[in-house]
Amino acid sequence: MKNFKPIKFNILAPIIIVFFSILLFGCEKENAIQTTKPLLNNSDINKDSTFKLFLSDIQEISATVSNANSEKLLTQDEFELIYNKAINENDINSKNEISKIMGFSDYSLFWKTRDRILNNIVLLNKKYNLKKLSTTEMESLISNGLANNNTFNISNDGVKTFNLNPGCYEMFKNCEDQATAMYAIEQVGCVGLGVLGWTVVGGALFIACEATSYYHLYVNDRTCRTNLRYCR
């Protein structure tokens, strides 16, 4: 069986994302040994309608990307070139191309969902001060939230195409959950670049960060689907 490895955030993510994720999450010695109480009552945020919508939206995008059909896998440079043009130049053709790459037949649905995710992260940051969380706490918060809100399903075409056994489905589900959690954490980190202010530099860093985050999701979800295809 062929086994393709997803992109690992802590290995392949650009230095810029790693640096600002550390800055955002206050990653200090507690990442190695945590002796203090959690900074956030997870039961409160898990009941929050904004957090639930945030989780639902990121799962929707991840599931749609996973089910997308494309002739070839774009390189990161190719993907980011299109994404940057879509944002920086508000180019309709580029926005449409990104939507299709991410598996959305409706041009506007991807971008509306993307905007809603960003707006909800801003609201959650204001309400729960997420920047005070360590990376370990943030990962736990997102992963637990996704587990409680899990809606991943393999498409009907996928069920017909793959002769699934329980082990293959569990592998696929875990892979999708990890890809989605990484995407969510990176999105929160990208919004955190707003601490620099929406200057030319801050805006450029945010767009670069966001493009990389979406590329990771694009590659990782396809890796999950490819591994499922070869699973027996």
Query: Which pLDDT score is estimated for 40?
Result: 61
Query: Which pLDDT score is estimated for 208?
Result: 92
Residue whose entry in the numeric block shows the structure tokens 């990782």: 220
pLDDT per residue over 166-183, tens digit each?
888 889 888 999 999 999
Q: Cα separation of 184 and 214, whole Å?
A: 10
Is residue 150 in a domain? yes
Q: What total number of domains does the chain contain?
A: 1
pLDDT per residue over 1-17, tens digit each?
555 555 554 434 444 44
Is residue 36 in a domain? no
Q: Highest mean pLDDT range out of 114-118, 159-163, 200-204? A: 114-118
3-state helix, strand, coil in the chain (%, to 5): 75, 0, 25
Which of 167 and 69 is assigned the larger pLDDT?
A: 167
Is residue 34 in a domain? no
Of the candidates 126, 178, 140, the residue with the CA atom closest to the CA atom of residue 42: 140
Q: Which residue range forms the structural domain that includes residue 139?
A: 9-23+43-229
Query: How many H-runs (helices) and E-runs (strands) does the chain carry?
Result: 11, 0
Query: Which pLDDT score is estimated for 135?
Result: 80
